[in-house]
Amino acid sequence: MEFSYLNDKDLLFFSKHILLPTIGIEGQQKLNCAEVTIFGLGGLGNLLSTYIASSGIKKINIVDFDVVEETNLQRQINFSSEDVGSLKVDSIENFLNNKFKNLQIKKFKKKIETLTDVEEIIKNSDIVLDGTDNFEVRKIINKACVKNKRKLIIGAVEGYTGQLTSVITNDSPCYECTYENLIDTNSCSDSGVLAPLVGMISSMMAMECINIITGNKSSFDKKLFIVNGLNLSVDIIKTSNNPGCKVCE
């Protein structure tokens, strides 16, 4: 990883991060040099992109083929009514560039259908963040990350339930290990979403990403974090490799 010089403005802007003993100047430099890919700019990716940029990560790939709709505005808070009808990647690029300086944003206005689609996007990424709402797409992203040894953080929200897991090392259970026989029957557009829960899971994904890049321990590797937004209960389930997994065998 290349060295990133922090000037006086950087030291002031990131001062609250630098004061943290687990980040400091060295950790902030690592963030400034990192490259992150965000798949999906809906409820999760929308806010997630802001926290990633505000952390000091300069190289951000954003991937989404969809346009902004009226129904998005209630939970995808980086969009406004003026964005309706625009591509999400264009609206997020404008939002981030207006708020943060010196970003290197690459937009991919495409629907993920093949392994090659993902591999071309993540080839230089340190962390991949999956905020999509489609099980088959998640499986493609998972397979590409395992094959190319890219660290992967996966978040999902449906109804009152939020989930989060990470695939960090070669012996981490991958998404296919945990959800081998899962069939895609619904998306958030079909089942509804509790808006603040989207903010909670996206914030936790951002914290996981920051911790990993700065050299701190992953909180969700080999774990499935599940939160119930209706009663605010939390379950943490230990996950393990599936010996018959066709992806990480």
For residue 191, what pLDDT is reported? 73
Q: Which residues contact 26 (CB under 8 A, 6 or more apart)?
A: none
> Beta-carbon neighbour count of residue 209 at 10 Å?
27
For residue 15, what pLDDT is reported? 96
Chain centroid to CA 6: 25
The residue assigned the tokens 């990480």 is 248
Architecture of domain 34-238: 3-Layer(aba) Sandwich (3.40)
3-state SS string for 163-183? EEEEECCCCCCCHHHHCCCCC
For residue 1, what pLDDT is reported? 45
Residue extents of the structural domains in the chain: 34-238
Find the angle CA(79)-CA(106)-CA(38) to the nearest 5 degrees: 60
- Residue among 111, 7, 36, 5 nearest 66 (CA): 111
- Residue among 36, 44, 53 nearest 93 (CA): 53
Concatenated DSSP letters for 218-236?
A: PSSBTEEEEEETTTTEEEE
- Residue among 214, 113, 230, 239 nearest 164 (CA): 239
For residue 109, what pLDDT is reported? 97
Q: How large is the C-alpha radius of gyration of the chain? A: 17
The residue assigned the tokens 């991949």 is 128
Quick check: helix, strand or coil at residue 154?
strand
- Say if CB 158 and CB 193 are below 8 A apart: yes
Could you tell me the mean pLDDT of each successive run of 10 residues in the chain, 249 residues long?
74 95 95 97 96 97 97 94 98 97 95 96 98 94 97 96 96 91 57 92 98 97 97 96 89
For residue 248, what pLDDT is reported? 85
- Residue among 74, 78, 75, 103 nearest 88 (CA): 78
- Residue among 123, 68, 113 nearest 93 (CA): 68
